[in-house]
Structure 1
Amino acid sequence: MQTGPYISLLSDYGFKATFGNETDILFLRTALQALIKSDIHIRQVHFDKNAFESLTVDSRSGIFDLACTDENGSQFIVEMQLGVAPHFIQRMKFYALHKFNTVVERGAFDYANLPKIYAIAILAKNILPTESFHTLANLRSETGEIIDSQLTFITVELAKFDKAVTEIKTDLDKLVYTMKTLHTTEPTQYPSFWNEEWLKRAIDELDTRKMSPEERAYFARVTAANAEAVNAEKQRIEEAEARRESLVKSETVKNLLSLGILTITQIAQTVGVSEDFVRNLSSNR
């Protein structure tokens, strides 16, 4: 994903160096405030355990990309997804409701003063039938009235963001623009708002020219691990597709054999398989 001097904020390394930076939380505090569209400053954030155990023997456990709590007790879950994920909302519901059950249990089942929970999904691809790149959702009535705002789902679809630099005004716009373009930007194209302290600190963490030898080595390890994971997933998909294609051809051959109209040679040519493939299926009928 890197074509310039900056590491992509969307990469595992970039996400951990900015959102997950435990020694400097200015970027995280400002980004969270922008994502939830709050006028109230988030002054403190502490990181929570991002792995969670299943609540019952039969339920699932998992890992959040990021879990944290602000000074008012509000809970934040942040998930990043670069690939196509049409059912990502279901994953966010699973995470958010797991967190909800956890805070209820911790509060001795007292529903009166539950903290706010924000489930934030940052997606490279589109999944919602909405026009806006930023969607904030609560439980509402059929007329749009808010029934409950304790649990909030926030979706950012980067592919829908197309604002030019001159159109960018809010911190949310600045954040999303940076996430989309940083890794392809040359220093001569630096927008002025990247000099704002919260973004400047984050960008410095992603500037390969400012890396120490230890940071370069760590970045190389993370990049290699990610490449291996991508290749493994690609191979898994290709193998699954090959199995599916073979199954389709097998069913087609069987159907043609059952008709008793075509010869083995004709069936093989029609389906695009070998004659031995057809003979094997014919003998196993």
Structure 2
Amino acid sequence: METSVYIPIISDYGFKATFGNEADSLFLRTALQALIKSDTPIREVHFDKNAFEALTIDSRSGIFDLACTDENGTQFIVEMQLGLAPHFVQRMKFYALHKFNTVVERGNFDYANLPKIYAIAILAKNILPTTHFHTIANLRSEEGEIIDSQLSFITVELAKFTKQVAEIETDLEKLVYTMKTLHTTEPTQYPAFWNEEWLRRAIEELDTRKMTPEERAYFARVTAANAEAVKAEKQRIDDVKRGTIRKLLLQGKLTVEDIADANDVSVDFVLDVQRKL
């Protein structure tokens, strides 16, 4: 980010400035339409409260990255994940089913005419055993027949997207390409579709050359906070791994190399734990 002209859309600041831009929802509306693969334009969106309370005393509360509703009452949950998250599907089920429960409750437990709910996950890493970068999942029979489409899970895995500019045709492909490459692209290398209104407006929000002093200060605060959070999370993960590795070393059943492979760490990491035993 020290030399890049554009802030990544997939950063916390970038996500809020584009998907979460309440003053100008054109990008969000077009992106949602592309993500759910709908031919019907989304005319307006209402941003919903993104924090939700537990339904019972012993159940969990949480926070969506973004929650909104369109003019037809369709509900959208959008989550962004940069790091490796092998259990992210479980998180999306938790969020989506919580949303399902709340819309049923608001409807006095009437299951008829429930609004559609789309739980959208945008991931930098791969988590699904699928080959395509975009996956839509519904409740289906063993023959693949749709049983229910009221609740849809949509997953975008940026790492699986490999198309080049000349191959890009759909709004979905334009969106994913932009999310994956904007912050590494020089202004002189603009693909033509970045001049389309919905993308142009979003990109302008991420152009560091056009930021006001207040925006620069806010961006610096968000970046610093995120860096501290990442550092703390990495330390927590390392501490957990060290505890597991200590137990394996004391059992003496595996080689250092096997322990390193099993815990996705380097041999030097294991040797460092061993020296401190």
Tell me if TM exceeds 0.5.
yes
- The alignment's TM-score, normalised by the length of structure 2, stands at 0.90
**Structure-2 separation of matches of 1:173 and 1:233:** 32
- In the alignment, which residue of structure 1 is the partner of 2:248? 248
Q: 1:274 to 1:15 in 2, by over 3 A?
A: closer
Corresponding residue for 1:223?
223
1:61 alignment partner in structure 2: 61
Question: For 2:154, what is the secondary structure of its paired residue?
Answer: strand
Q: Secondary structure at the match of 2:68?
A: strand
* RMSD after superposition: 1.9
Contact 1:5 1:183 in 2 (8 A): yes
Render the CA deviation track for 1:6-36: whole Å, top value 9, x for unaligned: 0000000000000000000000000000000
Seen in structure 2, the aligned counterparts of structure 1 residues 2 and 144 have a Cα distance that, compared at 3 Å, is: farther
Q: Which sits farther off after the overlay, 117-126 or 230-239? A: 230-239
Change (3 A) 1:274 1:194: closer
Q: Deviations over 1:16-59 (max 9, x none)?
A: 00000000000000000000000000000010000001101111
> Paired residues, what number?
260
1:32 aligned onto 2:32: yes
Determine the C-alpha separation between the residues in 1 that align with 2:275 and 2:234. 30
Instruction: Quote the residue 2:82 is aligned against.
Output: 82
Match of 2:257?
none
The list of structure 1 runs, each at least 4 consecutive aligned residues, that deviate by more than 4 angstroms after superposition, is: 271-277
Question: 1:86-165 residue pairs with structure 2 within 5 A?
Answer: 86-165=86-165
Whether contact under 8 Å (1:50, 1:67) holds in the other structure is: yes
In the other structure, the counterpart of 1:281 is: none
Q: Is contact 1:77–1:118 with CA below 8 Å preserved after alignment?
A: yes
Residues 64/2 of structure 1: CA separation in 2 closer, same or farther (3 Å cut): farther
Cα deviation for residue 61 of structure 1 reads 0.5
Question: How many angstroms apart in 2 are the aligned matches of 1:190 and 1:36?
Answer: 26
Query: Unpaired segments of 5 or more residues in structure 1?
Result: 254-270, 278-285
Within 1, Cα distance between the matches of 2:4 and 2:231?
23
Match of 1:12 in 2: 12
The corresponding residue for 1:176 is 176
After the TM superposition, which residues 178-193 of structure 1 pair with which residues of structure 2 at under 5 Å, given as runs?
Answer: 178-193=178-193
Are 2:52 and 1:52 equivalent residues in the alignment? yes
SS of structure 2 residue aligned to 1:139: strand
**Mean alpha-carbon deviation: is it higher for 232-241 or for 147-156?**
232-241
What is the Cα deviation at residue 116 of structure 1? Answer: 0.3
One-letter amino acid matched to 2:42:
I
Corresponding residue SS for 1:149: strand
Q: Given residue 99 of structure 1, which amino acid in structure 2 is its aligned partner? A: K
- Distance in 2 (alpha carbons) for counterparts of 1:238 and 1:152: 35
Deviation of the 1:272 alpha carbon? 9.3
Query: What CA distance in whole angstroms lies between the structure 2 residues aligned with 1:131 and 1:44?
Result: 33
Q: Bigger radius of gyration, 1 or 2?
A: 1
State the match for 1:213 in structure 2. Answer: 213
SS of the equivalent of 2:252 reads helix
CA contact (8 A) 1:3 1:184 kept: no
Shift of 1:118: 0.2
* Cα displacement (A) at 1:242: 2.2
> Which consecutive unaligned segments of at least 5 residues does structure 2 have?
254-270
**1:255-270 to 2 correspondences below 5 Å:** none
Which amino acid in 2 is paired with 1:22?
E
SS of 1:148's equivalent? strand
Q: Please report how far the alpha carbon of residue 137 of structure 1 lies from its aligned counterpart in structure 2 after TM superposition.
A: 1.1
**1:69 partner SS:** strand
Task: With the length of structure 1 as denominator, give the TM-score of the two structures.
Answer: 0.88
Whether the 8 Å CA contact 2:122–2:158 is kept in 1: the answer is: yes
Q: Is the 8 A contact 1:2 1:184 kept in 2?
A: no
Cα distance per residue 1:95-127 (max 9 Å; x no partner): 000000000000001111100000000011111
- Change in Cα spacing, 1:251 to 1:170, as seen in structure 2 (3 Å) is same
SS at match of 1:119: strand
For residues 84 and 29 of structure 2, the distance between their equivalents in structure 1, rounded to whole angstroms, comes to 28
Q: Is the 8 A contact 1:7 1:207 kept in 2?
A: yes
